[in-house]
Amino acid sequence: FKSVTFEDSLFKNCVFEDITSLNTYFRNCTFLNTTFYNTDLEQYKFVDSELINCTFFHIRTGCQISFDDDYSAYWIYFVNFLGTLAVLPGNIVSALLMDRIGRLTMLG
C-alpha cells in the first residue's frame, strides 16, 4: 500500500500477508479475527481502531524505501538510459572494426 487511508472500515476474517505499507493508516476501523503475517503494520498505523482477536506474526521493522515525489524514480531510469547511450559509440566502432580487420585479429 502506498499512501492509503482506510476510514470507518470493517475487516472480518482477513489475512494480511507480505504487505509493505508506506504512509498507510487505518482510522476508526474494526478488525475481527484478522491475521497479520510478515507485514510492517505497526501499532501507530491503527488510529482509533479496534483489534478484536487479531494475531501478528513476523512483524517487519526497519527503513522502508520512500520517494518524496515520483520524479526520483524517473531520474533513476534516466541516468541508466544515459549510461547505456554512452556505450553505443564504442559498440558501433567495434562492430565496424570487426568487419574491417576480422574477428580473430580483434581477439588478438
Q: How far apart (Å, rounded) are the C-alpha atoms in residues 103 and 95?
A: 10
Q: Is the pTM of this model over 0.85?
A: no
- Asked if pLDDT for residue 76 goes beyond 80, the answer is yes
- Asked if pLDDT for residue 92 goes beyond 70, the answer is yes
The pLDDT mean for the chain works out to 86
> pLDDT confidence of 86, banded at 50, 70, 90?
very high
Share of the chain above pLDDT 90, in %: 45
- Residue 68: predicted pLDDT: 55
Burial 40-58 (b: 16+ CB within 10 A, else e): bbeeebbeebebeebebee
- Asked if pLDDT for residue 63 goes beyond 80, the answer is no
- Residue 35: predicted pLDDT: 94
